[in-house]
Amino acid sequence: MMTSVQIQNLTAEQAYTALGSDPGGLSNAEAGDRLREIGANSIEIGDPWRIARSLLRQFTNFFTILLVVSAAICFAAESVQPGQSMALLGWALAGVALLNALFSFIQEYRAERAMQALRKFLPPTVEVVRGGQTQTLLADELVPGDLLLLNEGMRIPADARMVDATNLTINNAPLTGESRPVILTAGPTDSRLVESSNVAFAGCLVMRGSGQGIVFATGLRTEFGKLAHLSQALRRAPSPLEQQTAHMVRTLTIIAVSLGVTFFLYGVFSGRSLWINLVFMMGIIVANVPEGLLPTFTLALAMGSLRMARKNVLVTGLNAVEGLGATQVICTDKTGTLTLNQLAVTRLVAPLSGADLSDPQAREQMLNIALCACEVHTVDDAYRGDPLDVAIAQSLAGGAAGGGSPARVLRHFPFDVERKRSAGIGEVADRQLFAVKGAWEVIRPLLSHVGEPGQERRPVSDEALDRAEAVMTELAGAGYRVVAVAGREQPGEVPEGIAQDELEHDLVLAGFLGIEDPIRPEVPSALERCRTAGIEVMMITGDHPDTALAVATRCGIVDAGATGEQVLTGDVLEQLTETALEEALERGVRIFARTNPSQKMKIVMALRNMERVVAMTGDGVNDAPALKAADIGIAMGKSGTDVARASAQIILLDDNFASIVAGIEEGRTVFQNIRKFTNYVLVSNGPEIIPYLLYIMLPVPLALTVIQILTIDLGTDIIPSMALGQEPAEPEVMQQPPRKRDFHLLSPGLVIHSYLFLGLLEAAWSLGLFFFVLVQGGWHYGMELAFDDPVYRSATGIALATILLMQIGNLVGRRFARHSGLDAGIFKNRLMLAGIMIQIVFSWALLYTKPLQTVLGTGPVAWYVYLAAWLGIPLIFGADYLRKRLTWRAPARRSFPEQPSP
C-alpha cells in the first residue's frame, strides 16, 4: 500500500490504484477485512489497567502508608494482648486510609468522565462511497481506501488525498497552528505532505465547498494521531500543591515516626512494659499525623472544582484547582481567548481622506460592493461561508448600513491564494456591478479611478494612489486587517465561462474595510485584575507583529505607546538560545508574533527555568507538548482539539480569558482555605502530643487516649475543616502577588503558630483542668491511676471537652488572616455553624451520656468545671486576635504572607 509520504505526488488515478480502490469505493467485505487488519479509526490507546493503577496510586502517599502500617501494628498488638481496644483503633486507621483513597479516586474518575463528555472532536458519523453507493458510517469504521465525502462545516475524520474538489477550503489550524484558509485541489503536487494542497488532514475543519477524498491514513497513523501519540509520552511535572503536600506529608511523617520510635526506645530503657511503650508510640504517631487532613484536602479541591465549573472552568485533575491559583505567568493565545474569534467590520474608511464613513447610504454602498465579491448563504437564519464574507454580510444586515436591500450575487469568483482577492458580479438596486475585494497591493494595479464619498470620482494618479496607500498603512498599523474594495458597473449580459481577468479593468476604488476580531468586552478588566494580582500575561500568536502589538495595547497587556521592543517574532525566537530568551523575557518582552505552536515549548521551558509558575493556553494538536510542559495546561473547550484537551489540566468551556482569571481567584481562595484548615487542624496536635510527652517523662497519668485523639482528628475536626474549605475569597486575595514556587504549605510561620502558640494555649488550658479534676479527686504527684478509675475518666473527659470547645475559638479566628472572623458572614456558612454545634453538643455528651462515656473512657465533672472549659474559647480567640493586630500593623506585610491565614 502506498505510503503517506508519496500519496500527494500521485495523480488521482494513481492514488486509487495505490490504495486498492476505485471511484466506486471499496466493497463492504473489503472494508470489513481492512478494519479487522488495521483497527478502528481512533487516536485513543486502550489501557485495561488504567482504573486499577489510578486506584493503587491513591495508596502510595506517606500518610496512607503510615496509617496502614499503624493499623497493622494495632492488629498485631491486639493479638498479643486482647481486650485493649487496639483492634478497634486498627480498623479506624485502616478505614481512614481506605476512605481517603476511595474519595480521591472517585473525584479523579468523575473529572475524567466529565472530560470524556467533551470528546466530540472527531465526527461520530461520516459519509463514504462503498460499492458505488453513498453510506453513512461511524467515523471509527473508516479504513484506508474509503472514498470520503467532504462538506462544509464537517471535521475531517482521517487523512485523505483529494480526488475531487469544488471551492474546497480547509482550516488546518488544529494541526499546524496556522489559521489561514487552505484551498484544496485534486491535482498532484511536489510539496511536502503537511504543505500539500491536495491532502485533507484529520481533525481539520471544512470551511466551505465540497469534495471527495480517498482515505490513506486512519487513527494513530494520521498526522493528527502521530502528534497525539507523542504528547501521551510526555510526563507532567508535579503541580505546586502536589509538591507542597508531599513536603508537608514527609515532614509530619518523619516527625511522627521519629518521636514515636525515640520515646518508645526511651520507655524500653526506662523499664516500662512493652505494652505501655507500644501504646505510647501509637499515641505519638496518631497525635502527630492529622488523619483527617488528606480527606479534607481532597474535599476542598473537589468543592473548588465544582465552583470553577460554574465559572466555565472544567478541572480534569484536582490539584490543578489550586495550581491555577499559584500561576505567576499566563501565556495566552489571541484569537478566541482574548478576542471573540468572530471577524467583524468595525471601520469603513474613505480611500483618500481616511475618514470613517458616517453617512448610512455611503456605508451601505461600500458594503454592497464588497458583498458582490462574497459567497454567503443562509442556513437556519445564520450566515455560512468564508468568515470574512460572513462578517460583511452581517455588517450590512445588522444596521451598519442604511437598511436597504443587500446585493444579490449573480456570479462568484472564489478567493485565490495567489491572486489574494475574490470577485463577483451582483445586482444592487437594479444595477449590475462587478466587484473585487482583497489585498491592496493586488487591487492597486487594477484601478482606473478613485471614488471619494460626496465627490466626483477622479482618475487615478500616483499622488492619489500614494494617499490611498498611506490610509491603508495607517489602518493596518492600528491593528486592523485591511480589505480594499473596488468595483464598476457591468452593463449587459456576461458571457458564460468568462475569466475573472477579463472583467478586472476600469475599477473604481470604493474604500477600505477595517476588519478585526473584537476583543471580548470582559478582557481588559480581567487583565487589570491580573496586573493588580502581580500576574504577568504574555500573548503568543501567529498574527503580524503590528496586529499583535495593537491588540495587546487595547487589551492592556502592554501600556499605550509600547514599542516593538516588547514584541519577538517566531523567526527571531527560533534563533535564540535559552539564555538569550530568558534575557529577553527579563527585559520585558510580552508579545510573541508569527510563532508556531512548537515554539510554545521553548517559551514554557525558559519561564520554568526562571522559576515561574506557568499557565499555557492552547487549542491545536501541536500545542499538546507545551500544555503538558507547563505547570498548568489550559485547553479550549469549544475550539480546542481532543488531543489538546487530553493534555491539559484545565478546560475553558467558553474559551474566554476572563474565565482563566476567575479560575485563578478561585484557585487562590482554595489554597488560602487549605492554609486555614491546615492551620486549624494542626493546632489540636499540640494538646494531643504534650500529654504523651508528659506521660513518658513524668509520673503522671495520660491525659488523652488514642481513641480520644481519633475522635478529634476524624470526628469533630472534619466538619469545621470542611467549613473553612468553603469560605469565600478574602477581599485581598487578588491584590497580592503570587506566592513563590518554593513557598511551603507547612512553613515555619504556620508551624510556630499552630504548635507553639495556639497549640500550647490549648494544651495548657486543657491540662490545667485535667490536673484540677485529678487533684480534686484525691490524686497526688507520682500516684498511678487505673484507666477505669472514675477520677481518671472524669479528668480525661474534661481534657477532651476543653480541646473541642477551644477549637471553636480557633475555628472562628481562622476565617480571616487580618480580621477577627466575627461578622455576619459566619451565618452564611452553614457547615461552620454545624461544626460549632457538633463541637458544643459532643463536648457535653462525652461527659454526661453513658454510651459515649463507655466508648471514649470518660466520666462526668462538676458543672463549674465544664463552665471553666468554655472560658478557653475567648482565651484562644482573644490571644490570636491580639497577634493579628500586632502582626498586620506593619505596612510591609502587604505581600503574600509567610504567616498562615489564621
Question: In the chain, pLDDT over 70 holds for what percent of residues?
Answer: 87
The single-letter code of the amino acid at 163 is V
**Which residues, other chains included, contact 309 with Cβ-Cβ below 8 Å and sequence gap of 6+?**
114, 315, 653
829 and 754 in a common domain: yes
Q: How confident is the model at residue 240 (pLDDT cuts 50, 70, 90)?
A: low
Q: Which of 121-135, 301-315, 452-466 has the lowest mean pLDDT?
A: 121-135
CB of 820 closer than 8 Å to CB of 881? yes
Mean predicted confidence (pLDDT) in 524-544 = 88
* pLDDT of 104 above 70: no
Q: Mean pLDDT of all residues in the chain?
A: 83
User: Is 717 labeled as catalytic in the residue annotation?
Assistant: no
Q: How confident is the model at residue 846 (pLDDT cuts 50, 70, 90)?
A: very high
- 167-195 per-position pLDDT tens digit: 788 877 666 655 567 888 888 888 878 77
Q: Which of 121-135, 717-731, 783-797 has the lowest mean pLDDT?
A: 121-135
134 and 166 in a common domain: yes
- 659-692 per-position pLDDT tens digit: 888 888 888 888 888 889 889 999 998 898 899 8
Mean predicted confidence (pLDDT) in 4-9 = 71
15 and 161 in a common domain: yes
Q: How many CA atoms lie within 13 A of 477 on its CB side?
A: 9
Catalytic-role residue among 33, 47, 159, 333: 333
Q: Which of 43-52, 456-465, 590-599 has the lowest mean pLDDT?
A: 43-52
Looking at the DSSP bridge assignments, the partners of residue 635 are 618, 651
Three cell numbers written together for 874: 475567648
Q: How far apart are the first and last CA of the chain?
A: 69
Three cell numbers written together for 65: 502508608
pLDDT of residue 902: 43
pLDDT of residue 153: 72
* pLDDT of 631 above 80: yes
* pLDDT of 100 above 60: yes
Determine, yes or no, domain membership for 407.
Answer: yes
* pLDDT of 520 above 60: yes
654 and 600 in a common domain: yes
* pLDDT of 475 above 60: yes
- 336-367 per-position pLDDT tens digit: 788 887 788 989 999 988 898 888 888 888 99
698 and 577 in a common domain: no
612 and 573 in a common domain: yes
Determine, yes or no, domain membership for 457.
Answer: yes
Domain end residue (candidates: 629, 662, 695): 662
Q: What is the DSSP letter of 753?
A: I
Determine, yes or no, domain membership for 291.
Answer: no
871 and 818 in a common domain: yes
Determine, yes or no, domain membership for 405.
Answer: yes
CB of 845 closer than 8 Å to CB of 852? yes
Q: How far apart are CA 53 and CA 64, in angstroms?
A: 16
Q: Which domain CATH number covers 830?
A: 1.20.1110.10
Q: How far apart are CA 605 and CA 598, in angstroms?
A: 12
Mean predicted confidence (pLDDT) in 289-299 = 73
Helix or strand (DSSP H, E) at 30 = helix 28-38
Return the SS3 of 517: coil
pLDDT of residue 237: 60
Q: How many CA atoms lie within 13 A of 496 on its CB side?
A: 0
Q: Which domain CATH number covers 404?
A: 3.40.1110.10
Determine, yes or no, domain membership for 205.
Answer: yes
Which position has the higher pLDDT, 85 or 723? 723
- 263-288 per-position pLDDT tens digit: 788 878 877 777 777 767 776 777 67
Q: How far apart are CA 654 and CA 311, in angstroms?
A: 9
Mean predicted confidence (pLDDT) in 96-113 = 68
Q: How far apart are CA 364 and CA 405, in angstroms?
A: 9
**Which residues, other chains included, contact 662 with Cβ-Cβ below 8 Å and sequence gap of 6+?**
308, 311, 313
Domain end residue (candidates: 66, 85, 116): 116
Return the SS3 of 155: strand
pLDDT of residue 872: 96
* pLDDT of 238 above 60: yes
871 and 762 in a common domain: yes
pLDDT of residue 806: 97
Question: In the chain, pLDDT over 90 holds for what percent of residues?
Answer: 27
Please tell me the pTM assigned to this model: 0.71
CB of 484 closer than 8 Å to CB of 509? yes
Closest CA to 675 of 897, 495, 844: 897
In 398-461, which residue ranges form alpha helices assigned H by DSSP?
A: 440-443
Looking at the 3D structure of the chain, how many domains does it have? 5
Q: How confident is the model at residue 400 (pLDDT cuts 50, 70, 90)?
A: very low
- 63-79 per-position pLDDT tens digit: 677 778 777 877 876 77
Burial of 492 (0-12, 13-18, 19+ CB in 10 A): exposed
Determine, yes or no, domain membership for 285.
Answer: no
Q: How confident is the model at residue 234 (pLDDT cuts 50, 70, 90)?
A: low
pLDDT of residue 45: 55
pLDDT of residue 122: 39
The single-letter code of the amino acid at 323 is G
Q: How confident is the model at residue 874 (pLDDT cuts 50, 70, 90)?
A: very high
Burial of 401 (0-12, 13-18, 19+ CB in 10 A): buried
* pLDDT of 897 above 50: no
369 and 429 in a common domain: yes
862 and 842 in a common domain: yes
* pLDDT of 414 above 90: no
Domain end residue (candidates: 628, 662, 696): 662
Residue 446, CA distances (Å) to 295, 348, 421, 465 in order: 73, 21, 12, 12
- 572-583 per-position pLDDT tens digit: 998 888 899 999
* pLDDT of 5 above 70: no
Q: How confident is the model at residue 842 (pLDDT cuts 50, 70, 90)?
A: very high
Mean predicted confidence (pLDDT) in 530-537 = 91
874 and 827 in a common domain: yes
Which position has the higher pLDDT, 411 or 379? 411
Mean predicted confidence (pLDDT) in 296-301 = 77
Determine, yes or no, domain membership for 90.
Answer: yes
* pLDDT of 820 above 90: no
Mean predicted confidence (pLDDT) in 226-255 = 69
pLDDT of residue 125: 80
Determine, yes or no, domain membership for 367.
Answer: yes
Mean predicted confidence (pLDDT) in 800-806 = 97
CB of 372 closer than 8 Å to CB of 429? no
CA gyration radius for the chain? 36
Q: Which of 233-237, 337-341, 859-863 has the lowest mean pLDDT?
A: 233-237
Residue with cell 515555619: 748
Mean predicted confidence (pLDDT) in 398-410 = 66
Q: Which domain CATH number covers 549?
A: 3.40.50.1000
Residue with cell 492488629: 75
Domain that holds residue 710: 684-732+739-898
pLDDT of residue 83: 64
85 and 66 in a common domain: yes
Mean predicted confidence (pLDDT) in 403-424 = 79
Q: How confident is the model at residue 430 (pLDDT cuts 50, 70, 90)?
A: confident
